[in-house]
Amino acid sequence: MSISFESISKAFGQKQVLDQVSFKVNTGEILFILGKSGMGKSVTLKTIVGLLKPDAGDVSIGEMCVTRLDEEGLSEARKLCGMVFQHPALLDSLTVYENVAFGLRTLSPAQARERVIECLKLVHLDESCLNRKPPEISYGMQKRVSLARTLAPSPRYLLFDEPTTGLDPITTNAINELIFELSRKLKVTSVVVSHDMGCAVRIADRILVLDNARILAMGSVDEIKENKAQLIQDFLKEAI
Amino acid sequence: MVLYNLILSPALGFIIACRDITFILSRTLVICLKGPYRIREILQHMHSIGVGSLPIVAIATAFAGTVVTSEIAYHMDAALKTVEMIPGFSAQFVFRELGIAIPALLLVAKVGASTTAEVGTMKVTEQIDALRLLQIDPIEYLVFPRFVASIVMVAVLTVISIAITLTCAISVAVLKYNFSTLEYLNSLTHFISYLDLICAVIKGMVFGAVIPIISCFYGFNCTGGAQGVGTATTNSVVTSTIIVIVLDFILTFAFSLIL
Amino acid sequence: MGFLKNFLHELGGMYLFSNEVKKTWLCNLKTDMPLVLEQVSSVGLRTLSTVCFAGFFVGAILVIQFQLMLSQYDATAFLGGLNTSACIREVGPLIISFLLAGKVGAFTAAELGTMRVTEQIDAIRCLGTNPIQYLVVPRYIAIVLSSLLLLVFGLLVGIVGAMLVAGWLYNINSLQYLSSVPRFTDGWTVFCGVFKSAVYGIIVATVSTYKGYNASGGAKGVGRAVTQCAIYTNLFIVFANTWTSILLDAAHGFFKTLWGGQF
């Protein structure tokens, strides 16, 4: 069950953000999408999960063609995908428990509680924060709760939108290790959008670099390291 | 604990708010006397308040004026069986209440909300701190120009809206109750004096003074990102509306003793 | 011209949005009762004191103005009736709903706008819930219901307040004040007041949820959404005032011809 992105084009007004971009994400791998800010990375993720509709092209998750689905069909597709947003995007009026349990409406209260605690354990949080509200916990904790919320419905695909932007180096490392651990432990397919080449080099299986609405390079970490393009070399310099 | 949360805390908050607002007001008045005057900013704000709000105020007062006048006239006619009071009554109501309250409340929404949103966003994105570091007093740069512009423009808009509402009132009287325009204008001179116009302008100026002070106060005290800006703007609109209503009552009562 | 184009664009957007809300509500009637009730109680509690406060002052202002005008014709006997009627039919719903536009409307626009710009609405969609069903419908229904109740309550406070002020300032005792009321107000007057309150409630609900839900652009976007909500709500209330008055007058005339004296 892979994600396939076929000749996707998307423009916002005059600005062409994606131009005939095609790639495939294989089952169980971690794909990093890199590029400078504003180069269409978040748009890519939102198109996969149907929050944005492309101007041309098709996106398929497994057998389902996401671009052809209506809102109800998308609901089904989204049960397989979990997206972690750039900001924690926790619901401020609900407690941590209620936030994480949000996607678990179909379970009984007892089952939901078990699952919530399990997911919080996966992101290295304990039960003490269950009854607190998002404004009462630190930003790093909010990011982890947001990750737990995404994991709760057991998605097969995880999409991360700049998970470590704006975090201190220690928390950044923690989040990166979490992504790697989850991907291997839960055998999910992960697509991570970032401009942190250092993370990519450490945990990605494949890297895709976007520049000027097109794919500049795609391949394994070693292949990217060999690539002579200026942008990639600049990115790599920062990573080291 | 309950006592603190229910009574002391809000009371304390209220007192602190009064203190801050008084501070902003007094500082603004000091700048009125001593300068610097920032003429360019004042003119900019006058343009945005005056020209920006004119279409909305004009249309709204035209609509409101027509309806309220015809309702009052309907009452005079149906309940008292007399139509002779209509011109005088409607003209007085327009001058003293309608032509002033409606534009004031619309401007609270337009000017008050947008000012709080703007200043609040500046606070949240640390632009106000940046101003302070550049040795610029935020009150002098943000509050004072809006204060002057608002007083002048709200008074002007009040006069314009009285004119528009009066026109609508005349139309209602002429079209529905068969008065002639001349008759109406005659009764106008009987029932309205220069004093009425002056009182209306004073009311307009007072409302115009209040709106920027309150909205900038909420903007300066805005905290917490997007949510904070939303909360501050909401509270600003609500407080300004209430204060305008209360001031309207006080001024109406005060003027009723003179007129 | 730009102003007109923007205005029509907004109007169209709100119409489509409210259709969407209605459709979502009708498809999911039973599921979200607790959410609706929660919203109603929070809106109601938040605004009750403000509405009473405003109602009192509006009634008081009208008493002073009318007293001034009626005394010129020696017609002060009619103060009670005229004031009550004007308050219920016209000025009361108008001013109090301006306040609701602020307290309830701006608050809802701010709340939904913040959720939109911090991607909470996208998160809800990703977790398989329809955000319009979860967020908008309960708030919409709550605002319409509470607006109706609050406006009616505010009008009552206004009438009582006016009576008290008349007694305090002009020594008109309550019985004297109330004696002229039946001449000016009847069942139809009350119906007019309630009908207008319902219409204004729908306007506040539609504009505030639309503006909040479609906010964009960070803190600035939230500010902009709230500002535009305040402006458009007030504007539409003024327009609706005209149209409902015309409509109600026409209806009154129609019923009168049909049923004669009763009306």
pLDDT in tens, C66-117: 888 788 777 777 888 888 888 888 878 888 888 888 888 888 999 899 999 8
The b-or-e profile of C14-31 (16+ CB within 10 A means b, else e) is: beebbeebeebbeeeeee
The residues facing A6 across adjacent strands are: A58
As a whole number of angstroms, the distance between CA B3 and CA C140 comes to 35
Residue with tokens 């005056």: B50
Please give the average per-residue pLDDT across A166-173, as a whole number.
Answer: 82
Neighbours of C218 (CB within 10 A): 16
B70 close to B165: Cβ distance less than 8 angstroms: no
- Residue A24 has which token pair? 């495939």
The residues facing A10 across adjacent strands are: A18
Q: Which of C49, C63, C69, C95 to mutate to test the interface with B (most CBs of B within 10 A)?
A: C69
pLDDT number for residue C261: 60
As a whole number of angstroms, the distance between CA C133 and CA C25 comes to 7
Nearest neighbour of A85 by CB, restricted to C119, C128, C130: C119
The candidate with the shortest Cα–Cα distance to C125, out of B251, B137, A85, is: A85
Half-sphere exposure of B161 (CA within 13 A, CB side): 37
pLDDT number for residue B26: 92
Please give the average per-residue pLDDT across C23-38, as a whole number.
Answer: 76
Any idea how long chain B is? Answer: 259
C212 close to C111: Cβ distance less than 8 angstroms: yes
- Over residues B90-115, the pLDDT tens digits come to 788 888 888 888 889 889 888 999 89
Residues of C with Cβ-Cβ distance to B75 under 8 angstroms: 82, 85-86, 184
Position C30 confidence tier, pLDDT thresholds 50, 70, 90: low
Binary contact (A89, C130; C-beta < 8 A): no
pLDDT number for residue B184: 80
Strands A64-65 and A56-61, how do they pair? antiparallel
Distance from B234 to chain C by nearest Cα, in Å?
5
Distance from C179 to chain B by nearest Cα, in Å?
14
Q: Which of C27, C35, C126 to mutate to test the interface with A (most CBs of A within 10 A)?
A: C126
Contact residues for A224 (Cβ-Cβ < 8 A; gap 6+): A207, A209, A217, A232, A236
Nearest CA in chain A to C123: A89
pLDDT number for residue B81: 67
Contact residues for A187 (Cβ-Cβ < 8 A; gap 6+): A28
- Over residues A66-82, the pLDDT tens digits come to 888 877 777 777 778 88
Q: Is the pLDDT of residue A239 over 70?
A: no
Nearest CA in chain A to C135: A91
The candidate with the shortest Cα–Cα distance to A101, out of A82, A88, A114, is: A114
The percent of residues in chain A predicted with pLDDT above 90, rounded, is 10
Nearest neighbour of B241 by CB, restricted to C98, C245, C246: C98
pLDDT number for residue C35: 79
- Residue B139 has which token pair? 């009150």
Contact residues for B88 (Cβ-Cβ < 8 A; gap 6+): B187, B188, B190, B191, C69, C72
- Over residues B163-212, the pLDDT tens digits come to 998 888 888 878 877 778 888 888 778 888 888 889 999 999 999 999 99
Nearest CA in chain C to A103: C127
Please give the average per-residue pLDDT across C140-156, as a whole number.
Answer: 86
Contact residues for C203 (Cβ-Cβ < 8 A; gap 6+): C97, C233, C236, C237, C240
Give the three-class secondary structure for A187.
coil
Interface residue A218 vs chain C (CB under 8 A): no
- Over residues A52-62, the pLDDT tens digits come to 888 888 888 88
Distance of CA C116 to the CA centre of its chain: 25
Contact residues for C45 (Cβ-Cβ < 8 A; gap 6+): none
pLDDT number for residue B175: 82
Residues of C with Cβ-Cβ distance to A102 under 8 angstroms: 124, 127, 129
- Interior angle at CA B45, CA B44 and CA B49, nearest 5: 125
Q: Is the pLDDT of residue B239 over 70?
A: yes
- Residue A217 has which token pair? 């390079």
Element (H, E) at A207: strand A206-211
Give the three-class secondary structure for B230.
helix
As a whole number of angstroms, the distance between CA A180 and CA A202 comes to 9
Percent helix, strand, coil in chain A, to 5, is: 45, 25, 30
Q: Is the pLDDT of residue B235 over 60?
A: yes
Q: Is the pLDDT of residue C263 over 60?
A: no
pLDDT number for residue B208: 93
Please give the average per-residue pLDDT across C128-153, as a whole number.
Answer: 87
Strands A189-194 and A157-161, how do they pair? parallel
pLDDT number for residue C262: 55
- Over residues C246-262, the pLDDT tens digits come to 898 888 888 888 876 65
- Over residues A94-136, the pLDDT tens digits come to 889 988 988 887 888 899 999 999 999 888 888 888 899 888 8
CA distances from C210 to B163, C10, C18 (A): 34, 9, 8
As a whole number of angstroms, the distance between CA B130 and CA B181 comes to 59
Interface residue A166 vs chain C (CB under 8 A): no
Sheet holding A157-161, edge to edge: A81-84, A157-161, A189-194, A30-34, A206-211, A214-220
Position C207 confidence tier, pLDDT thresholds 50, 70, 90: very high
What is the pLDDT of chain C when averaged over all its residues?
85
Q: Is the pLDDT of residue B162 over 60?
A: yes
pTM: 0.81
- Using a 10 angstrom Cβ sphere, with 0-12 exposed, 13-18 middle and 19 or more buried, the burial of residue B127 is middle
Neighbours of A67 (CB within 10 A): 18
Element (H, E) at B97: none
Please give the average per-residue pLDDT across A191-199, as a whole number.
Answer: 85
Interface residue B114 vs chain C (CB under 8 A): yes
As a whole number of angstroms, the distance between CA A173 and CA A177 comes to 6
- Amino acid at residue number B202: I
The candidate with the shortest Cα–Cα distance to C98, out of A88, B109, B257, is: B109
- Amino acid at residue number A222: D
**Backbone angles phi and psi of A12, in degrees to 5:** -110, 100
